[in-house]
Amino acid sequence: MARCLQASKQIRMSGGFTLLELIVVMAILGVAAGIGIPQIRNIGQRQEALATVDQIRQLFWQGATAAASRGGTNFVLVRSGNTLQVQSQVDGSVLRSVTLPNGVSCSLNNGTLATFTSPGKVIFSSSFPANRQFTVTAAGQTFTLTATLIGEVRRQ
């Protein structure tokens, strides 16, 4: 019996962890992961929303600068479903396209929204909001954007 007690003391003194200590550590890690993972997901959704807003802003700017740099070639901004694109009025080729990801909505109507003309001027169609403001909603946040006559889009 004395040998068994001595062997048990040697095992305990070897510096290992008890089962109870391991369970406590696993519980703490589980709680931390339960709190942290949803926060990481929210950060990712917010970044995707901001990236979409920036892509729409660049879409307007690229349409205006392309029209200014190509002289007589006009470009149009068209929305079809979840896709916004700048097309050449001459041959219909697509200069740039943005597809709204799932869960992202835009208040702009379908159809031709604006025409970009030389020297970089934007003529808005009647289907574009009169105050030139529209919204993009993503990840529970709504971004209000204002388009200018020179193709700049400001986020408020």
Give domain limits for the chain: 22-155
Give the global pTM: 0.71
User: Is the Cβ–Cβ distance between 122 and 147 less than 8 Å?
Assistant: yes
Strands, E assignment, 12-129: 75-80, 83-88, 94-99, 105-106, 111-117, 121-124
The top-level CATH class assigned to 22-155 is alpha beta
- Residues 60-110 have pLDDT tens digits of 999 999 888 887 778 999 999 999 999 998 898 999 999 998 888 999 999
Q: How confident is the model at residue 9 (pLDDT cuts 50, 70, 90)?
A: low
Instruction: Output the average pLDDT for the chain.
Output: 86
Tell me how far apart the alpha carbons of residues 70 and 33 are, in angstroms, rounded to a whole number: 54
Query: Strands 153-155 and 121-124: what pairing?
Result: unpaired
